[in-house]
Amino acid sequence: MRQKDYNKHRTGSRDMYNAEGYKDMTAYLALRNVEREERAKRYGRKRRRSGTRHPVDRLKAALNENERFVWEEMANAIIIQAAEDWREAKRKLQKHPSCEEAKATVKETESFFLSRDYAALTTYDGRKLLKRLKEEFGE
């Protein structure tokens, strides 16, 4: 059995190949989603959206009061460690401006402070924290 025939058999009547015989996953996935939405309308179901909430937010919602205290302590420790790593890397860069490891650490921690993961850990604005850290170093 040729690969094309095998894939066609495996996925049902949906065709993953374009007119030239090349695999075209974009069109295949778009058609699959359209078919799913049509089926959902036909049977009166609403299509669920996956991934609308951050996994950390879902975990927080499931915790009881005692567990939330532990969670908050852990979140605070993560943020404090990231700030300490940033400070240490900046000090290292002041002494050795060409240190690639320190540059990478600074870039990584700055992107963390601006990320959705940081926002899931705390309500304190990451931009403000980054601004305060930079003020410590006269930037």
**Tens of pLDDT along 67-126?**
777 778 888 899 999 999 999 999 999 999 999 999 999 999 999 999 998 988 888 899
Residue extents of the structural domains in the chain: 3-42, 55-136
The pLDDT, as a whole number, for residue 1 is 47
| 108 in Cβ contact with 101 (< 8 Å) | no
Section 127-136 average pLDDT: 92
| 126 in Cβ contact with 115 (< 8 Å) | yes
The pLDDT, as a whole number, for residue 72 is 83
The pLDDT, as a whole number, for residue 24 is 65
| 118 in Cβ contact with 79 (< 8 Å) | yes
